[in-house]
Amino acid sequence: MSQKLSWFATTMQLFSRSSRSPWRTRTGTPATARTERAQPRAKRRNQSPRGGTSAAKIAGTPKTTVSARTIAQTIAERTARIAGDCSCAPPTLKKSRPRGSFAAAVFYSGRERRLESRDSMPPTTQQTATTIFYRNIRWLKFVDRLGKKGAGILEYLGGLGTMLVQTAHAAVTRPFYASQVVAQMDDLGVKSLSITGITAFSVGMVLALQTAYSLAAFGGKMFTGRVVAISLVRELGPVLTALMVGGRVGSGITAELGSMTVTEQVDALRSMAISPIRRLVLPRILAVVIMLPILTAIADVLGILG
């Protein structure tokens, strides 16, 4: 029993010496603790015993009159003084509440100091600083436009390369829509024969006339047919055919696919698990590749006949 009493007494002594005793406060007496608890919260916040920065020191007003409303009023005054030069303030700071206005006060204080330092410059220095500022803005706008155009070009080239890879993959895998290829050969190749033939015949006729007139001065009128044939077969026939077919076929394909995209027919194909590349793009490419050499040969013959 005596051992238990001695252990209890030793424990109470150690507990009473601890700095966290419930019977002791920071000043050391229970009376001081009761007095501090009786003080208002705002007064104890302004008279902080730890020596921290109080709200009155931040706002620059006496301790007895500081409040959230005072801080907001100080910020409003600073905003009004620099309203003409501080239109770039963030909306979050402009709409900040009184209790959360410390960030706004810091922002406007920094802006005010920078404006005061600029106003203290000589007029020539101010003009130079303004010129450099606007030059930097123009340079940044130029870089922005250049970057946007470069990004657009890269995006277009990337999409074109992706489409070519998908088309090549669709050409060697199944399913293969042969009926679509035949239909496109008729639409893009056979229907382009008239404009291609008329163009080649007219060019051959004019070329023969001009060549014969030029060679007659040298006594080489007999070589007119050979010169016209070589010119049409090697150069004019393929070039004119490609131009005519490209103009007609390109505009037709663009209008057709654009209309299908607007009317959501392409999305309907995707919803039915049909690849638009395999159904729409590949047949047209194969039809043009097959029909273009045939149209070129016909154009060469018509040009020589002309």
Q: Give the pLDDT mean for 269-286.
A: 86
* DSSP result, 175-232: ---HHHHHHHIIIIIGGGHHHHHHHHHHHHHHHHHHHHHHHHTTT-GGGHHHHHHHHI
Per-residue pLDDT at 98: 44
- The rounded distance, in Å, linking the Cα atoms of 204 and 229 is 9
- Residues near 112 by beta carbon (within 8 Å), at least 6 away in sequence: 78, 81, 82
**72-98 residues labelled b (16+ CB within 10 A) or e (exposed):** bebbeebbeebeeebeeeeeebeebee
Q: Where are the domains of the chain?
A: 21-52, 57-120, 121-173, 177-305
Q: Which amino acid is at 102?
A: F
pLDDT exceeds 70 at position 284? yes
pLDDT digits (tens, 9 = 90+) for 158-174: 988 888 888 888 888 88
The answer to whether residue 85 scores a pLDDT higher than 70 is: no
The pLDDT assigned to 171 comes to 85
273 contacts: CB under 8 Å, gap ≥ 6: none
Global pTM? 0.49
Q: What percent of the chain has pLDDT over 90?
A: 1
Query: How long is the chain?
Result: 306
pLDDT at 229 > cutoff 80: yes
Q: What is the mean pLDDT of residues 48-69?
A: 46
Quote the CA–CA distance of 67 and 55 in Å, as a whole number: 8
**Residue of 98 and 9 predicted with greater confidence:** 9
Task: For residues 69-79, give the mean pLDDT.
Answer: 61
Residue spans of beta strands (DSSP E) within the chain: none
Res 99: pLDDT: 42
What are 104-119's pLDDT values in tens digits?
Answer: 554 444 544 454 455 5
